[in-house]
């Protein structure tokens, strides 16, 4: 796992040796940053559920101004700190060992972010719950957006008909919001793409697209 481009290009990152950590693959990471490459300069980034810090550090390497990186695991936070120092991006990071809900509750009314990365463990409901908590906390700056990773559950290469189905709003609501239309109604779906089993969805607070 490495930083793909920017000032820390090529830096090798450490990941936590744990079944609880599922680092974003280089293929998916490249796809994510190709979507947002013109929206990073000077921006403030929040990375929740981040076992290694790679998405926030990639964003900083590509020109983001500062990043807040949150994980509830002390072991993961130690890895994130090491990676931030290794990439020489530590001085632009604030790293917090915190549960996502506690962090968002504390950030409400105090902080705003231009880009939020969400990649919690798949099929746990944590993505839906964190999106609900983010909407409650009102931490997305005007023009800001969320990059959410989720699992489609589909293996193999889909047919065109199947892929069209996977890209529908109904499939996004099922995968990203665990079927909760109440939470889904608080967001606009700007874009969704499929890479293997992984869905990458770009969301904005409803009415701001």
pLDDT digits (tens, 9 = 90+) for 99-125: 999 999 999 999 999 999 999 988 889
pTM reported for the whole predicted model: 0.91
Tokens representing 202 are: 């770009």
| 155: exposed, middle or buried (Cβ count in 10 Å: 0-12, 13-18, 19+) | exposed
- Determine phi and psi for 108, rounding to 5 degrees: -60, 130
pLDDT in tens, 32-69: 999 888 889 999 999 998 788 999 999 999 999 999 99
Fold of 26-205: Rossmann fold (3.40.50)
Compute the distance between CA of residue 10 and CA of residue 7 in angstroms, rounded to an integer.
9
Q: SS3 of 155, please?
A: coil
Give Dmax (Cα) for the chain. 48
Which of 8-17, 24-33, 43-52, 153-162 shows the lowest mean pLDDT across its residues? 153-162
The pLDDT value given to residue 204: 96
In the block, tokens 């990375």 appear at 47
């Amino acid at each position: 796992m490495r930083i793909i481009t920017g000032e820390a290009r090529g830096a090798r990152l450490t990941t936590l040796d744990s079944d609880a950590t599922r680092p974003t693959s280089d293929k998916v990471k490249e796809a994510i940053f190709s979507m947002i490459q013109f929206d990073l300069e000077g921006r403030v980034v929040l990375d929740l559920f981040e076992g290694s810090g790679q998405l926030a550090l990639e964003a900083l390497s590509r020109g983001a101004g500062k990043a807040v990186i949150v994980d509830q695991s002390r072991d993961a936070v130690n890895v994130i700190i090491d990676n931030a120092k290794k990439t020489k991006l530590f001085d632009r990071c604030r790293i917090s060992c915190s549960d996502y809900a506690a962090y968002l509750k504390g950030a409400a009314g105090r902080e705003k972010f231009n880009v939020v990365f969400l990649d919690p463990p798949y099929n746990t409901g944590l993505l839906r719950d964190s999106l609900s908590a983010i909407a409650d906390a009102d931490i997305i700056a005007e023009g800001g957006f969320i990059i959410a990773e989720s699992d489609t559950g589909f293996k193999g290469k889909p047919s065109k008909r199947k892929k069209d189905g996977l890209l529908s709003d109904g499939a996004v609501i099922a995968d990203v919001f665990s079927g909760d239309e109440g939470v889904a109604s608080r967001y606009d779906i700007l874009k969704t793409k499929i890479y293997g089993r992984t869905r990458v969805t770009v969301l904005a607070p409803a009415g701001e697209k």
